[in-house]
Structure 1
Amino acid sequence: MDAQYTIVIADDHPLFRNALFQSVHMAISGANLLEAESLDTLLSLLEKEHDVDLLLLDLKMPGANGMSGLIQLRNQYPDLPIVVISASEEITVVKQVRSHGAFGFIPKSSDMRALISALHQVLEGEPFFPEGLGDEDDEINDLAQKIASLTPQQYKVLCMLSDGLLNKQIAYELNVSEATIKAHMTAIFRKLGVKNRTQAVIILQQMDLTQ
């Protein structure tokens, strides 16, 4: 494998990011490696870089609550292969990652040989997930599809809603009118199939996005 690959490593922990950088450098000789330590930094980088071949994403970064970063990235960059690299290795987490459209999941506990093998598999176009996941979870898939139907702005509104902000506060944070926020709320409730704020927040909690 050679320099034709551009790979982004997104992780807020400097030591792990550096270790992953070295591992990827060894696995894919001459690859163009870029780094991001927060969701905002990552989104800014992706706006400038239009030929990214692979994103290695940590779930827990500043600006991302649980699965929210993955969902937002999937919405904005549907064709970008995203592989989650996480210390949260529970089967339920891996299933959620898969249902949200990630191309793979690599546990942070993986040794160098396993990591390199997984990276080669992904770059050759084959998804990589740990064994023993079983079948897709229909309930998770259904919720994931509802969340994924939201626009990036609607998703921001929903996250602020889950933080307990009022319409007026959300409007101020996003620099839009309160009427705009009300319109977003109507669209969000319709897409999620709920009738009020409480039900919308419950869906977020079911998807484990607020942790």
Structure 2
Amino acid sequence: MNDKPVRILIADDHPLVRRALGGSLSQLGQVTLEEAGSLDETLSKVAAVPDLDLVVFDLRMPGSSGLGGLTQLRTAAPDVPVVVLTADENPRLALKALEQGASGFIPKTAPEPVLLAAIRLVLQGGIYIPSMVAEHAANAESGGGGGNSRSPRQSLTARQRDVLALVLEGLSNREIATRFNLSEATVKAHVTAILRAYNVASRAKLIRAASAEEGNDTLMGEV
């Protein structure tokens, strides 16, 4: 992150959490902090402070019992990135939050270096996806016996196979998101899960591995 001053709204109903989080965020440099302790206060703040750079949002506070609060916040301030910071570590909830437009999902148990790295990433225009989301996506529909005999492609969900097909065509995450009417964060989560399934670290290696697998499948079918 550069030295440009940033303004961050911390929306959490626990004053001690806001104070501790503010102390951590002060390490980012020139940071001006705003606070809110309920959904109504959060919505009032985003309306009154037009130059917000980020909202750190707890899903569960007065007026917000979950994703409904996130939806209202995204509707009220669609151009302000929102990072969900919550005690709930359910990967399905994390994926749903990303699908609804959150730019990141951080469990409150995350170490401070992880928290700061995630916030920096989002402030730079990125999307933070916790490892539990990718692991959950990679394991989806792959349970049951005989898992060791499944090919990487067979271990993918139907949606992940659709995403893989477009990756092989050379489409970017943004183009894939547009094609399937998904958020870019959701596509990134799927791509991360696909990379894990193929045990590769880049799209180029994924294309080679998936193309080779496809070739082998064709040969097996011709036997």
* SS at 2:89 equivalent: coil
* SS at 1:72 equivalent: helix
1:95, 1:137 within 8 Å by CA — same for their partners in 2? no
Q: Does 1:87 align with 2:87?
A: yes
Q: Give % identity.
A: 40
* SS at 2:137 equivalent: coil
Q: Does 1:108 align with 2:111?
A: no
* SS at 1:41 equivalent: helix
Q: Does 1:134 align with 2:137?
A: yes
TM-score, structure 2 normalization? 0.58
* SS at 2:8 equivalent: strand
TM-score, structure 1 normalization? 0.61
Indicate the residue corresponding to 1:15 in structure 2: 16
1:11, 1:38 within 8 Å by CA — same for their partners in 2? yes
Distance in 2 of aligned mates of 1:66 and 1:24: 24
Distance in 2 of aligned mates of 1:50 and 1:71: 19
Distance in 1 of aligned mates of 2:40 and 2:76: 13
CA deviation map 1:139-176 (0-9, x unaligned): xxxxxx9xxxxxxxxxxxxxxxxxxxxxxxxxxxxxxx
Structure 2 residues without counterparts, runs of 5 or longer: 139-156, 160-180, 182-223
Taking structure 1 as reference, are residues 137 and 9 closer, same or farther at Cα in structure 2, changes over 3 Å only? Answer: farther
Q: Does 1:125 align with 2:128?
A: no
Indicate the residue corresponding to 1:5 in structure 2: 6
1:3, 1:32 within 8 Å by CA — same for their partners in 2? no
Indicate the residue corresponding to 1:48 in structure 2: 48
CA deviation map 1:89-138 (0-9, x unaligned): 11111011111110111110011111111111111111001122427997
Matched ranges for 1:175-190 at <5 A: none
Q: Give the partner amino acid of 1:78.
A: P
Structure 1 residues without counterparts, runs of 5 or longer: 139-144, 146-211
1:87, 1:108 within 8 Å by CA — same for their partners in 2? yes
Distance in 1 of aligned mates of 2:65 and 2:105: 17
